[in-house]
């Protein structure tokens, strides 16, 4: 698919893009000329999001993908491969926090851990693994893992995160950070880049008390999805600033 200047538009897949930060990330990448594949586990919710983007003249299309379902992931890979033959940007954005996580550590049930890790950690790995070959077919792939400052061991241990402690979510995002370092290591010395980001405290369904808008919250994902070939690899960012592990 050619864009107006006659070169191939870059292809970006964002998981959990039917709403919240993921939707806004799709919009901002679309505004930059990307072909955006709006990843959604629910066809109707996903199509609704795509229709909005198309009405804004964004080149968007739905990719049905439930990151926690292997068959769904494989179907999504087949769809992207047959239509585009490669993937330039993968943003692992879908994430969850369990209500039961809002408790003292020893009171958090194992079910909350399983539910959180299923999407935030295991699904993120399965989606990345499944799209790895297509990413490597890009001439400059970008993997962006949406983590959280809550996944920073340093910021929790030095007191910067205050009393907000959700053990399953926080540890799942710490795992995402470590996984990103490993994917990035695999791409060392190549034009490909893998980084992890904190979007900020963003007002969404996941964080109803969020302090910033989705427009601000999507900026860091977009920034890392569009970094140059001499940009960072294996780092943790928020709005242009590197965060500590």
Ligand X SMILES: NC(=O)c1ccc[n+]([C@@H]2O[C@H](COP(=O)([O-])OP(=O)(O)OC[C@H]3O[C@@H](n4cnc5c(N)ncnc54)[C@H](OP(=O)(O)O)[C@@H]3O)[C@@H](O)[C@H]2O)c1
In the complex, the smallest distance separating the C-beta of residue 44 from ligand X, rounded to whole angstroms, is: 10
**Three-point CA angle 187, 216, 234, nearest 5°:** 15
Q: Is 19 in the site for ligand X (CB under 6 A)?
A: yes
Stretch that binds ligand X, among 12-20, 105-113, 125-133, 181-189 (CB under 6 A): 12-20
237: helix, coil or strand?
strand
Stretch that binds ligand X, among 26-34, 54-62, 130-138, 196-204 (CB under 6 A): 196-204
Q: Is 95 in the site for ligand X (CB under 6 A)?
A: yes
**Angle of the 70-84 helix axis to the 124-136 helix axis, nearest 10:** 20
User: Based on CB atoms, which residue is closest to ligand X, 135 or 202?
Assistant: 202
- Tell me which residue of 174, 192, 184, 51 sits closest to 116, measured CA to CA: 174
Q: How many residues bind ligand X (CB under 6 A)?
A: 28
Q: Is 30 in the site for ligand X (CB under 6 A)?
A: no
Please, where are the H alpha helices in the chain? 20-31, 43-55, 70-84, 110-117, 124-136, 153-157, 167-186, 214-217, 219-225
In the complex, the smallest distance separating the C-beta of residue 86 from ligand X, rounded to whole angstroms, is: 24
11: helix, coil or strand?
strand
Q: Read off the DSSP letter of residue 234.
A: S
In the complex, the smallest distance separating the C-beta of residue 111 from ligand X, rounded to whole angstroms, is: 13
Q: Are residues 63 and 35 in contact, defined by beta-carbon separation less than 8 angstroms?
A: no
Stretch that binds ligand X, among 64-72, 80-88, 181-189, 237-245 (CB under 6 A): 64-72
User: Based on CB atoms, which residue is closest to ligand X, 45 or 165?
Assistant: 45
146: left (phi over 0), alpha (psi -120 to 50) or beta: beta
Q: Is 196 in the site for ligand X (CB under 6 A)?
A: no
Q: Which of 21, 26, 127, 194 binds ligand X (CB under 6 A)?
A: 21
Could you list the residues that contact ligand X (CB under 6 A)? 16, 18-22, 41-42, 45, 66-68, 93-96, 119, 146, 148, 198-199, 201-202, 204-207, 210
């Amino acid at each position: 698919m050619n864009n107006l200047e006659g070169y191939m538009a870059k292809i970006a897949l964002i998981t959990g893009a039917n709403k919240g930060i993921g939707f806004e990330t799709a919009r901002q990448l679309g505004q930059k000329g990307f072909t955006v594949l709006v990843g959604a586990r629910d066809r109707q919710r996903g199509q609704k999001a795509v229709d909005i983007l198309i009405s804004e003249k964004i080149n968007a299309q739905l990719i049905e993908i439930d990151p926690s379902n292997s068959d769904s992931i494989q179907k999504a890979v087949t769809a992207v491969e047959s239509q585009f033959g490669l993937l330039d940007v993968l943003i692992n954005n879908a994430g969850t926090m369990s209500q039961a996580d809002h408790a003292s550590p020893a009171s958090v049930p194992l079910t909350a851990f399983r539910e959180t890790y299923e999407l935030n950690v295991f699904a993120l790995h399965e989606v990345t693994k499944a799209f790895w070959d297509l990413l490597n077919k890009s001439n400059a792939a970008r993997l962006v893992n949406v983590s959280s400052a809550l996944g920073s061991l340093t910021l929790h241990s030095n007191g910067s995160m205050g009393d907000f402690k959700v053990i399953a979510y926080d540890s799942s995002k710490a795992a995402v950070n470590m996984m990103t370092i490993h994917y990035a290591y695999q791409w060392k010395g190549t034009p490909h880049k893998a980084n992890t980001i904190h979007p900020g405290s963003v007002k969404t369904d996941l964080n109803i008390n969020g302090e910033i808008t989705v427009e601000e919250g999507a900026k860091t994902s977009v920034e890392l999805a569009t970094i140059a070939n001499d940009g960072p690899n294996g780092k943790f960012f928020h709005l242009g600033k590197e965060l500590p592990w």
